[in-house]
Structures are given as structure tokens and as C-alpha cells.
């Protein structure tokens, strides 16, 4: 028993000494006589970890707002450019549409003019055929007397139609004979004009045939 008691007293004595040493360290550390952290590293204070998201939330929000403003400005600028391009395209389309309308009106006008010209040409051609048939079936002297009152180019056109009809029907033409019945001077003028390949380019060629009436009028 005496041995156990000695061991117990030794243990508590060591424990007491350890406690007193620890208390002494804290007292000396408190009065900064020593630095307990140099002897016991576990006593060093670790820097606290700070959540960056919570450090200054207002600054982060301001940064996000500024970025959002920049994106909005860029979007507005892009929208403005797109609007300008749209207006330009719209103006170009309006101009193109106006040109197309002008071209359409010009084409329609030209078509009407061509249709009217074709109608006049057809009517004149029919009239020339009627006159050629009339002259071909008249007594030569009577035909000459009538033809003398016609303009030269109308006589030539009717003679050409008479030659064409005679050729299609396989009979001889009488235009050359009719021309011999004309006075020499008039016959010479008509012959020269008839032989002129550009006679039909002369202003007024066949104009009197286009006029209303059964026969061309002298000019």
C-alpha cells in the first residue's frame, strides 16, 4: 500500500508541477515577458479565411452593373446601326421600286406605241392591197389619170404591191406599162425614186395612204 501511495503522490506532484509551469508561461506571456507562441506553436493565431464574395458585395454589384451598362450601350449601338442599315435598305428598295415603275411605264408605253404602229402598218398594208387591186383592174388610161393625182411615193408603193401580187399569181405585171403612160418628166422622177433603195426612209413616205379615204391625196 505504501508503494502505491508513493506512486500516486508522485503522479499528482508531476501534474501539479506541469500545471504550475503552464500557468507561469501564460502569466509571463500575458505580461509579454516571454512569447508562449515560440514554445508552443499551436498557440499561434491562424489568419481567418475571408469569403471574397462577402468581402465587399456592394463593390461587386457595382462592377456587375457597370458591365451590364457597357453591354447595354453596345447593344443599343448595334441596334442603332441595324436601324440605319434597315433605313438605307428601305430607301434603296423605294428607289429601285420607283425605277421599276418608270421602266414598267416606259415598256407599257413602248408596247402601246408598237401595237399602234403595227395596227397602222396592217391597215396601211391592207389599204395598199386594195388600191393595187383597184389599179390593176382599171383601164390603163383611167388608172394613169387617177395615179397622176397621187404623191410619188404612194404610186411607188402601190406599184410594188402590184408587182408582188402579179408574181404570186404567176401573171405579168403592168406597172412598167402604166409608167410609160405618165408624162416623161413625171415618169423620170418616179423611176428615179423607185430605184432609190433608201426611198422608204424619206419622211412622209406612204403617209397619204394612211389617211382616211379610198385613194391617196395629192400633195
By percentage, how much of the chain surpasses pLDDT 90? Answer: 31
Asked whether the predicted pLDDT for residue 52 surpasses 60, the reply is no
Per-residue pLDDT, averaged over 101-120, amounts to: 88
| pLDDT value for 146 | 94
> For residue range 20-41, what is the model confidence (pLDDT) as tens digits?
777 776 777 677 766 666 666 6
For residues 209 and 24, what is the distance between their CA atoms, to the nearest angstrom?
Answer: 146
Residue 1: predicted pLDDT: 47
* Banded pLDDT at 62 (limits 50, 70, 90): confident
The per-residue pLDDT for 167 is 92
Nearest alpha carbon to residue 141 among 182, 86, 104? 182
Lowest mean pLDDT among 4-8, 13-17, 121-125, 190-194: 4-8
Give the confidence band of 96 by pLDDT, cuts at 50, 70, 90. confident
- Check residue 103 and give its pLDDT: 85
The residues, any chain, with a CB within 8 Å of residue 218's CB and separated by 6 or more, are 149, 150, 151
Please, how many CA atoms are within 13 Å of residue 30, restricted to the half-sphere of its CB?
A: 6
Q: What is the DSSP letter of 40?
A: -
Q: Is there a contact between 154 and 216 (Cβ–Cβ < 8 Å)?
A: yes
Mean pLDDT of 90-115: 87
Identify the weakest region by mean pLDDT among 52-61, 72-81, 140-149, 174-183: 52-61
Cβ-proximal residues to 179 (8 Å cutoff; 6+ apart), any chain: 159, 187, 190, 191
pLDDT attached to residue 144: 93
Asked whether residue 2 carries a pLDDT value surpassing 80, the answer given is no
pTM exceeds 0.85: no
Q: Average pLDDT, stretch 73-96?
A: 87
Ranges of beta strands (E only) in the chain are: none
**Domain-by-domain residue ranges, the chain?**
8-43, 56-107, 122-210
Amino acid at each position: 500500500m505504501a508503494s502505491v501511495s508513493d506512486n500516486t503522490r508522485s503522479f499528482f506532484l508531476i501534474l501539479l508541477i506541469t500545471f504550475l509551469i503552464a500557468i507561469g508561461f501564460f502569466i509571463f506571456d500575458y505580461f509579454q515577458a516571454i512569447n508562449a507562441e515560440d514554445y508552443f506553436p499551436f498557440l499561434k493565431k491562424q489568419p481567418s479565411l475571408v469569403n471574397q464574395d462577402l468581402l465587399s458585395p456592394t463593390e461587386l454589384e457595382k462592377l456587375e452593373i457597370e458591365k451590364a451598362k457597357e453591354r447595354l450601350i453596345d447593344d443599343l449601338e448595334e441596334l442603332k446601326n441595324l436601324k440605319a442599315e434597315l433605313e438605307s435598305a428601305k430607301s434603296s428598295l423605294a428607289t429601285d421600286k420607283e425605277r421599276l415603275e418608270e421602266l414598267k411605264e416606259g415598256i407599257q408605253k413602248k408596247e402601246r406605241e408598237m401595237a399602234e404602229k403595227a395596227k397602222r402598218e396592217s391597215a396601211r398594208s391592207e389599204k395598199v392591197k386594195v388600191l393595187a387591186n383597184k389599179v390593176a383592174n382599171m383601164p390603163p388610161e383611167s388608172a394613169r389619170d387617177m395615179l397622176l393625182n397621187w404623191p410619188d411615193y404612194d404610186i411607188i408603193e402601190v406599184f410594188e404591191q402590184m408587182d408582188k401580187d402579179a408574181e404570186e399569181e404567176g401573171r405579168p405585171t403592168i406597172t412598167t406599162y402604166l409608167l410609160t403612160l405618165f408624162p416623161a418628166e413625171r415618169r423620170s422622177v418616179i423611176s428615179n425614186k423607185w430605184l432609190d433603195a433608201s426611198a422608204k426612209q424619206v419622211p412622209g413616205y406612204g403617209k397619204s395612204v394612211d389617211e382616211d379615204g379610198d385613194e391617196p391625196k395629192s400633195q
